Amino acid sequence: MAALSNLHSAAAVAATSLNTNSSSSSLASTQHHPITLRPRYQPDRSPRLAIRTTTAKSASRDAAAAETSRTARLEKDPAALWRRYVDWLYRHRELGLWLDVSRIGFTDEFVEEMRPRFEKAFRHMEELERGAIANPDEGRMVGHYWLRNSKLAPSEGLRKEIDRTLDSLCRFADDVITGKIKPPASPEGRFTQILSVGIGGSALGPQFVAEALAPVNPPLKIRFVDNTDPAGIDHQIAQLGPELASTLVIVISKSGGTPETRNGLLEVQKAFREAGLDFTKQGVAITQEGSLLDKTAKLEGWVARFPMFDWVGGRTSEMSAVGLLPAALQGINIREMLAGAALMDEVNRTTELKNNPAALLALCWYWASGGVGSKDMVVLPYKDSLLLFSRYLQQLVMESLGKEFDLDGKRVNQGLAVYGNKGSTDQHAYIQQLREGVHNFFATFIEVLRDRPAGHDWELEPGVTCGDYLFGMLQGTRAALYANDRESITVTVQEVTPRSVGALIALYERAVGIYASLVNINAYHQPGVEAGKKAAGDVLALQKRVLAVLKEASCKQPIEQLTLNEVAERCHAPDEIEMIYKIVTHMAANERASIAEGDSASPGSLRVCLGECNVDNLYG
């Protein structure tokens, strides 16, 4: 109990310090001072403008001096800080959501200078919602906002398609939960588990929502195959055990050809065959109409198929069948999620900066990172159920904003790095560095006011509950970081509900779109991801050539044991010898090749072979 008392004392001191800073109730009017807009805003406080010399030492000194100058301007007077808090606080009463940007040090002059950019961004978002080609590289509309308000869709056909899909998946989920749709071989007589097979946006959103909102005893429990890791897939299937017979498998892939998802599907189908089960009676496809997956599911007679729309990207697909079907099957109120997102979209259409929470986030991101991604975004949700929010935002923000070229074709290497952990776990992880180490970040606190359902709380000691400790840790950490010139944003929700989760998703989707316009990039494509996929394909193509060479050598009498140089030469790939070494090492570790001579720690000494001639089925 003494340890708890000491912890409470520390939290109380931090909270008292915060309350002291918020003691005054007087407000001061904001004076704006317009100045001329430069081609790309880089504030005088940014370390990038301070670098005037070409030497590393002088650049480092200049950057440190500029950062010191910038942070010296952060407001520290308690009365003035309270006025700033009140002046910039955003609240959405119906959603029970607050946004506090007072601990980001942007100035009135900065806000005025950014107004033309925001006016342009607001126009872009309006055009996007009306159906403009917002993804010029792929010639596509961007319509995830229509998913929660189909009336906004630019055509009657799209509106009907959205409504029809939502109604269809709701009926399907009800039929599964009530047992009207049931697995053929399950002793329970109904589906009890979901195995969701997908990767990236097809997994991160559904995982976040499941962690945040699934009831303690959902109608169907969910598991995910979200990688092409054989051990991970085996683990998920093994955990199902005999319940594989009552598992509904949802396969999610827009193109139907995503390698990781295809591999997961093949592994799951193998498990069904080995268990004597008919996969087609338990499989559901969520994919673009006409894709390979769609055609396969239709031909084989899977239980159901739902569409992924061409105009919805993976990282913004949570409000489509991708996220809504798994959520509905877990008993989550998906219409409330959609309602929360629609309410947030509505307020984010205002062109009044202070009343547009997504624009406020974009403003803070631009200020904190100098508009060039100079600082990371650390996301700290102080609620266990929101643990995966930082992981979800990692893809949404980084895949959208991490771009080499802007819309004018200029190389800009934009982006914001995102990482995070839950509070108060972060107290014991990296807060030490955040407060005292390298100053290369700004924080985002996610606060939930409701600790437990009403009537379930109790006091650990007089006047103090378990949730009070969590509250004290959040407020204390926020105050401690700001005292050492570390800036932060705080997003607060009344409680974690389908409506508030929908609002959070919509808030950050819009903030990403607005910020992308501010820095003149396409937020809706991912050429770097495609480049990685192509490179992975090249590695597998090279591996097939290596296998062919080793097979031929192993079928000779006597068996040829080849050096890496000889393998590379016969593959006509002398420049790929390092990759060939890695391929051979990986195959040897999995008993698909043999290192006949030498040591893998000394690649030049190796001689390799397959060990046998009959390898026809090795890559069948």
Residue 243: half-sphere exposure toward Cβ, Cα within 13 Å: 18
Strand partners, 284: 250, 304
Helices (H) and strands (E) in the chain, counts: 20, 17
Active site residue 533: yes
Using the Cα atoms of residue 114, residue 117, residue 121 and residue 123 in order, give the sign of their dihedral.
positive
Beta strands 418-420 and 376-381: pairing type? parallel
Largest separation between any pair of C-alpha atoms in the chain: 93
Give 273-289 as a 3 state SS string: HHCCCCHHHCEEEEECC
User: Are the beta carbons of 611 and 594 closer than 8 angstroms?
Assistant: yes
- Strand, helix or coil at 602? strand
User: Are the beta carbons of 488 and 478 closer than 8 angstroms?
Assistant: yes
Rounded CA-CA distance 558/58 in Å is: 65
Q: Which of 533, 552, 566, 582 is catalytic?
A: 533
- Strand, helix or coil at 609? strand
Rounded CA-CA distance 577/603 in Å is: 10
- Strand, helix or coil at 522? coil
Nearest residue to 100 via CA among 188, 170, 21, 43: 21
Q: Which of 57, 428, 534, 572 is catalytic?
A: 428
The type of residue at 371 is G
User: Are the beta carbons of 593 and 619 closer than 8 angstroms?
Assistant: no
Beta strands 459-461 and 464-465: pairing type? antiparallel
Q: Per the omega criterion (within 30 degrees of 0), is the bond before 154 cis? A: no
Helix axes 498-518, 357-369, angle to 10 degrees: 50
Residue with tokens 């607050």: 98
- What radius of gyration do the chain's Cα atoms show? 28
Distance of CA 226 to the CA centre of its chain: 13
- Strand, helix or coil at 536? helix
Active site residue 534: no
Task: For 482-500, give one letter per residue: b (16+ CB within 10 A) or e.
Answer: beebbbbbbbbbeebbbbb
At 133, phi and psi to the nearest 5?
A: -75, 95
Q: Which of 399, 447, 487, 576 is catalytic?
A: 399
Point out the residues that are catalytic. Answer: 399, 428, 533
